[in-house]
Amino acid sequence: MIAATPTSATWRAVLGEAVGSARIVVDIEGASGEWRELLEQNGCFALDPSHALTGAIHGAVVARHLVSRAREPERVLADWHGLLERGGRVVLLESTARRGLLRRASLLFPPRRPPDARAPYRNGLSPADASLLLQAAGFIDIRCFALPVPPSVSVHYLVSARRR
């Protein structure tokens, strides 16, 4: 693996490919500025969860480091499945390992709560496990995208899947 400095254009391209043709995207974390900007640069309208409507009407759901922190990741993905229109995509940014820095919620922006001690993937979620969870929740067309981050941070990836 070659360590490369990620650029905004690289991240925008990877996120755009993962989201696909979706135009209305629910950002489960309420969109930190940089991700909302990347989504908007790709022609998406990003909604935070408080503005998401019930029912299967959204084109995509984007979540960062949340499935690995959930106590019941299968249930979380099933709930997100219900927000998506037919053919809508779920996009997860995850990492295979948690380092000390990522466990210090106060250093992250926006600040996050530490993972639930009962969360089965609290120490990291592999791409294979993420794919299995998505498949179990009824998603298809599962794709994994490696992200250009230095290996010293941990292996980050985007995984995206489509609702039937």
| Exposure of 35 in the CB half-sphere (CA atoms within 13 A) | 22
Which residue in this structure is represented by tokens 């997100």?
A: 80
Residue 98, domain member (yes or no): yes
3-state secondary structure of 32: coil
What was the pLDDT predicted at 103? 46
Vertex 9 angle, CA 105 and 61, to 5°: 55
pTM, two decimal places: 0.81
Domain hosting 115: range is: 8-163
pLDDT of residue 59: 93
CATH of the domain at 60: 3.40.50.150
Is residue 136 included in any domain, yes or no? yes
Strands of 139-146's sheet, edge to edge? 45-47, 24-27, 58-64, 84-95, 156-163, 139-146
In this prediction, residue 99 carries a pLDDT of 54
Nearest to 17 by CA among 70, 121, 108, 89: 89
Residue 2: inside a domain, yes or no?
no
pLDDT in tens, the chain (164 residues): 334 456 778 888 888 899 999 998 888 865 456 778 888 899 998 887 777 777 768 899 999 888 988 999 999 999 999 889 999 999 998 888 765 444 444 444 445 566 678 889 988 899 999 999 999 999 999 999 877 665 555 677 889 999 98
| Res 1: pLDDT | 34
Considering the domain boundaries, does residue 1 fall inside one?
Answer: no
| Domain assignment of residue 75, yes or no | yes
Count of the separate structural domains present in the chain: 1
